[in-house]
Amino acid sequence: MFFSFPFPFLPFLPFLFEIQYQKKIKKKLKNYRFDNILFDEYRFPLVPPEIFFQGSDAIINYLIDLLRFPSSSKQYRTKLTVLGSQGSGKSAMIQCLFPISDWFQSKGDILKTTYYFVLQGRSLKKFKRKEEELTLHKSLYLGEDYYELEIIKPYGILLRPLAHQPLPKIELYCKDEAQHAKWVKAFQRVLDNFSGDGLRNYQYSIETSEEGVLEEMMGPNKTLKVNVWDVREDYQHIYSYFEPLRAVYLILYDLRKGEQEIDRLSYWLTNLKSRLFHAQNLQEDQLFSVFVVGTHLGFPNVEPEWKGRKEQIEKIGETCGLKLHYHEVDCDQLKNISELRSGIFNMLANHSYLREGEIFPEQYLKIEEHIHSLKNRDPPVSIIQIRDDPFRSIPKFILQRALKFLTSLGECLYVDRPIELSSILIIDPKVLLKEYFKEHFDTFFNPTTTANPQRTFTERNWSIHNYDTTAQMQALMETFGLSFRLQPHQTLEKFSSFSTSDSLSDDNNSSNSWRPPSGIDSPSSSYVSSSPLKKNLHLNDKLILPGLIEKEKPPNFNEVWKEDRNGERESEIIFEFNKLPSNLIPRLTAHFHEFLYKDQIWSHGLIVKYKSMLVQYREEGRQFIAVLRGNDSSQIKEILRTTQIFLDEIISGHAGMKYFQLLRSPHFPNAFIPLSECQLDAEKPLNQRTLCCPEMNLPIQAEYLLWKAGLQDQVPFEFNLSNTFFCFCFFFFIFCFFFCFFFCFFFCSLY
pTM beyond 0.75: the answer is: no
- Residue 82 pairs with which residues in a beta bridge? 230, 250
> Is the confidence at residue 410, as pLDDT, over 60?
yes
pLDDT, tens digit (0-9, with 9 covering 90-100), for 212-225? 778 887 788 888 99
pLDDT, tens digit (0-9, with 9 covering 90-100), for 432-482? 776 555 554 444 444 433 333 333 333 333 323 233 456 777 787 777 777
Q: 655: pLDDT confidence band, cut at 50, 70 and 90? A: low
Please report the pLDDT score of residue 529 as a whole number.
Answer: 27
> Is the confidence at residue 659, as pLDDT, over 70?
yes
Mean per-residue pLDDT, 655-660: 74
Higher per-residue confidence, 351 vs 245 = 351
Instruction: Kindly report the number of other CB atoms within 10 A of residue 169's CB atom.
Output: 11
Q: How far apart are CA 432 and CA 104, in angstroms?
A: 37
Residue-wise DSSP of 208-244: GGG-HHHHHHH-TT-EEEEEEEEEEGGGHHHHGGG--
CA separation, residue 641 to residues 280, 379, 498, 637 (Å): 33, 50, 9, 6
Within 8 A by CB and 6+ apart from 647, the residues are: 508, 575, 624, 659
Please report the pLDDT score of residue 530 as a whole number.
Answer: 26
Please report the pLDDT score of residue 13 as a whole number.
Answer: 43
Up-side HSE of residue 688: CA atoms within 13 Å toward CB?
6
**Three-state secondary-structure class, residue 609:** strand
> Is the confidence at residue 363, as pLDDT, over 80?
yes
E-only strand ranges, 1-99: 77-84
> Is the confidence at residue 124, as pLDDT, over 90?
yes
SS3 content of the chain, % helix, strand, coil (to 5): 40, 20, 40
Residue 201 near residue 155, CB atoms below 8 Å: no
Residue 256 near residue 297, CB atoms below 8 Å: no
Up-side HSE of residue 344: CA atoms within 13 Å toward CB?
26
pLDDT, tens digit (0-9, with 9 covering 90-100), for 246-301? 899 999 999 988 777 777 787 778 778 777 766 665 545 688 899 999 999 888 87
Please report the pLDDT score of residue 329 as a whole number.
Answer: 94
Portion of the chain with pLDDT greater than 70, in percent: 75
Amino acid at 80: L
What top-level class would CATH report for the domain 78-267+286-311+318-338?
Answer: mainly beta
pLDDT, tens digit (0-9, with 9 covering 90-100), for 522-564? 333 222 222 222 223 333 456 777 767 888 899 999 999 998 8
